[in-house]
Chains A and B, each alone.
Chain A
């Protein structure tokens, strides 16, 4: 995928001007940089969520899945209902939840979970889906080391042979997901 961004701005603030980003399909890429440098904005353009820019992107994903920076869970319903919302495969959902140490939480309303548990549910939910590109925006935010490793292993397994784009400000996340290509912003 190659993005030719002539200009991307929010009001008066220019985020990118005359920028070219090359994201290889055959390896995992990280977009690194400090907060506010435009990582999420670039991810939204690359995943096809944001079309409001001057320029064009060759090879836009047809079936992208995005793990957003926010958990974006339906808080009033149970963990399992959030999983069922994206796929009816209950067995798969149970297996993924168990793998992320959420086996006993299927019936728990999301609003009763801790921040780290919600993050794991958000990760579990994307693992239910089929995709051709996977975009992860700060995927391990709020997770302890053990949960981080476990989640990274599951994501790595799910994204086997598929392009993956990781947005992070933490270089320690790169080896966890086997990232071999890096774009530095800011």
Chain B
């Protein structure tokens, strides 16, 4: 088992190394940093950025807003899913709204939202809106898939609503929640930063990315992209671990 995991990790590291080499070769062949900087140039730029206070404040600015938007969306969509499950009318009313949010391009929503809110809070609203349909749909699906036999037994055994929620609904929802969180975390990052690039809130990662673009500083653009990928990865892993921890607590 351990050797399989180690082999899998080695294979993944090998694949990353392979693509870094391809990138390096492509960069050498093009020979122009403006079009494609080398991995080493990006790494060097990243090290310079890390030493700059603005780097950390930009990360804090964006991370906090995306996280707030995500958590608010998680709570609101879970509540809406429960209401849709309990009340058919609510489900009928929510359905077109959820479909519209899901189908509307991020750029359209960003421009519309900019009319209503200050750009500082843009990524909160955008990550909220992008995550909402995914978590809502998954939780509602999970609720509707809860074992009917188990619910009948719960009624016969006179389980309280709280006990039913904890011991029947929550365990049954966990795979749906994990899947929804995994998908929507990446989306929250992508859409949140895309919104910042359009709305340019002062002090955000989006603003740094935009500046890199207008000053034609391609290594900066790549460096910030690397930062975004790493942050999204950490964000997803930490949050999923947190969700699994809660699930483990509920199961024991």
- Residues of A participating in the B interface, judged by any CB pair closer than 8 Å: 47, 49, 64-66, 68, 70, 72-78, 80-82, 84-86, 107, 109, 125-126, 129
Number of B residues near A (Cβ < 8 Å) is 20
Is B251 an interface residue when CB atoms closer than 8 A count as contact?
yes
Interface contact A74-B163, CB-CB below 8 Å: no
Q: Which 4 A-B pairs have the closest CB atoms?
A: A85-B167, A76-B171, A72-B153, A77-B251
B72 at the interface (CB under 8 A from A): no
5 more A-B residue pairs beyond the given contacts A81-B251, A86-B158, with a C-beta to C-beta distance below 8 A: A49-B156, A66-B153, A72-B149, A81-B252, A129-B157
B-side residues, CB < 8 A to A, are 147, 149-150, 152-154, 156-159, 163, 166-168, 171-172, 174, 250-252
**A81: B residues at CB distance < 8 A:** 167, 250-252
User: B251 near A109 (CB under 8 angstroms)?
Assistant: yes
Contacts of A84 in B (CB 8 A): 163, 167
Name A49's contact: one of B152, B166, B168 (CB within 8 Å). B152
- In the complex, the number of residue pairs spanning A and B with C-beta atoms less than 8 Å apart equals 59
Chain B residues closer than 8 Å to A78, beta-carbon distance? 251-252
Cβ distance A133 to chain B, nearest Cβ, rounded Å: 11
Chain B residue contacts of A107, Cβ below 8 A = 252
| B157 in complex: contacting residue of A65, A75, A80, CB < 8 Å | A65
A interface SS class: loop
B168 partner residues in chain A, CB cutoff 8 A? 74, 85
B contact residues around A76 at 8 Å (CB): 171-172, 174, 251
Cα–Cα, bound, A129→B163 (Å): 15
CA distance A65 to B174 in the complex (A): 29
Q: Report the bound CA distance from A80 to B251 in whole Å.
A: 9
> CB distance A86 to B251 under 8 Å?
no
Q: In chain B, what residue has the closest Cβ to A77? A: B251
Given known A-B contacts A68-B149, A109-B251, A82 and B167 have beta carbons under 8 A apart = yes
Report A-chain residues with C-beta under 8 Å of the C-beta of B153. Answer: 66, 68, 72
Given contacts A74-B168, A77-B171, A85 and B149 within 8 Å (CB-CB): no
